[in-house]
Amino acid sequence: MMWNVLQEKFKNHPAQEKVVRLLLERGFQVNAQGRVVSGNIEIAHTQIANEIGVDRRVVDATCETILKDPQLMRIFRNVRSLPFLRDVAPYLGLGVIIITPDNAARKGLLGSVSTSVAEHGITIRQAVSDDPYLSEDPKLTIIIDGKVSGELVDALTGIKGVKGVAVF
């Protein structure tokens, strides 16, 4: 639903839609002054523009549009980033399970995976599911205490809706 609302509001401005997508992917906010921030740290509009290949003025215009629209303002004043442990988990002694779904919109996949992990006596430290509207190839990433066993991999591959399992 949310992504449909955003697409509708930016349907005539594809470059601004790219800015909105980046803001959501990174959890960046737009503050009351129309600046892109992460907490109290300001991110230069030129850096954002360079990252996605648009002119800085597109980022400025997107922020202005967000501030003028109460619904957009509520979204972008409240979005937050979170520390994603996937890449540092091995250094912390944690296991990483990446689930590739056959259909990212399927209901119940996270529940089935977490149940299977719990049945193997393993604690989940973090679960992050890519939004199928923001990611071309969404995955479900599970960070667990300890290493991933072969038995758990076998159990996960047997879950309806799981196309593939990768472990690190």
List the domains of the chain with CATH numbers: 10-78 (no CATH), 89-167 (3.30.70.260)
Q: What percent of the chain has pLDDT over 70?
A: 99
pLDDT at 152 over 70: yes
Using the predicted structure, report yes or no on whether residue 132 has a pLDDT greater than 90. no
Contact of 134 with 24, CB cutoff 8 Å: yes
Q: Is it the case that residue 144 has pLDDT exceeding 80?
A: yes
The neighbouring-strand residues paired with 99 are: 140, 165
Q: How many helices (H) and strands (E) does the chain have?
A: 7, 7
Query: Using one digit for the tens of pLDDT, what is the confidence trace for 92-101?
Result: 999 999 999 9
pLDDT in tens, 58-113: 999 999 999 999 999 999 999 999 899 999 999 999 999 999 999 988 899 999 99
Question: Cα–Cα distance between 54 and 19 in angstroms, integer?
Answer: 8
* Strand positions, DSSP E, 56-112: 94-101
pLDDT at 2: 72
> Quick one: pLDDT at residue 104?
85
Are 95 and 138 contacting, i.e. CB atoms less than 8 angstroms apart? no
Contact indicator for 92, 150 with CB cutoff of 8 Å? no
- Judged against a pLDDT cut of 80, whether residue 1 lies above it is answered with no
Q: Are 161 and 93 in contact (CB under 8 A)?
A: no
